[in-house]
């Protein structure tokens, strides 16, 4: 096989498959448009955005950022373990990635509870409309990612010979999408 056909194959068959990467591209574009709209509205209503941003818990959001980054590391470690046929390392990586994701969900729930108890909802103002929609949409992605990780870990435990590298890579790509989106949401909502 020539090197050009290998490159061609790698381009059209990226880790996890081309369909997954199309979905990821659509998700990134969707979040991108929402973030551009957020920035535009921030420009239109700087006082409201600044005072509302001051009501967010930056410490919890920073902790959640660290949790997702560490979780992403363990997901990458799981993929490396699976590729090396080190199933124990892969299981540990999946488990630790899930722990990070579950802690993220728990901390986000505490943050949401705080906002709801202060009667801050979707219609409070423009900033909080973006806050609830963007963080809520991201949270849905994290929950879906957790289900994917649970299925992968379960398959690895019950029938490791049936689990394909493409499936593991697809799960990892989706999980890293959650990391990527949060790494952009965090500064846009909490810091800028």
Q: Residue 83 is part of a domain; what is its CATH number?
A: 1.20.120.80
Domain count, the chain: 1
7 has a pLDDT exceeding 50: no
Q: Check residue 6 and give its pLDDT.
A: 43
Please give the biggest Cα pair distance in the chain.
63
16 has a pLDDT exceeding 80: no
Q: Check residue 111 and give its pLDDT.
A: 96
Give the global pTM: 0.85
Q: Check residue 2 and give its pLDDT.
A: 40
Structural domain boundaries enclosing 164: 3-191
Contact 31, 134 (CB under 8 A): yes
Long-range contacts of residues 45-54, Cβ cutoff 8 Å, at least 24 apart: 45/125, 45/126, 45/127, 48/125, 48/126, 48/127, 49/126, 49/127, 52/124, 52/125, 52/127, 52/128, 52/131, 53/127, 53/189, 53/190
Average pLDDT of the segment spanning 78-97: 94
Kindly give, in sequence order, each residue whose CB lies less than 8 Å from that of residue 17, ignoring residues fewer than 6 positions away.
166, 170
Q: Check residue 165 and give its pLDDT.
A: 86
* Band of pLDDT at residue 21, cut at 50, 70 and 90: confident
pLDDT digits (tens, 9 = 90+) for 157-174: 888 888 888 889 889 988
């Amino acid at each position: 096989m020539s090197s050009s056909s290998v490159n061609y194959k790698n381009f059209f068959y990226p880790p996890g498959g081309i369909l997954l990467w199309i979905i990821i591209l659509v998700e990134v574009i969707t979040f991108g448009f929402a973030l551009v709209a957020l920035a535009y509205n921030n420009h239109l209503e700087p006082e409201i955005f600044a005072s509302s941003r001051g009501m967010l818990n930056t410490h919890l959001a920073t902790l959640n950022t660290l949790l997702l980054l560490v979780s992403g590391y363990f997901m990458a470690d799981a993929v490396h373990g699976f590729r090396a046929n080190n199933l124990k390392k892969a299981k540990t990586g999946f488990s630790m990635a899930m722990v990070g994701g579950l802690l993220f969900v728990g901390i986000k729930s505490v943050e949401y509870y705080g906002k709801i108890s202060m009667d801050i909802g979707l219609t409070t103002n423009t900033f909080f409309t973006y806050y609830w929609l963007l963080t809520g949409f991201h949270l849905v992605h994290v929950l879906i990612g957790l289900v994917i990780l649970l299925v992968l870990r379960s398959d690895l435990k019950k029938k490791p010979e049936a689990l394909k590298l493409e499936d593991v890579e697809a799960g990892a790509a989706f999980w890293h999408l959650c990391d990527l989106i949060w790494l952009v949401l965090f500064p846009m909502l909490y810091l800028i």
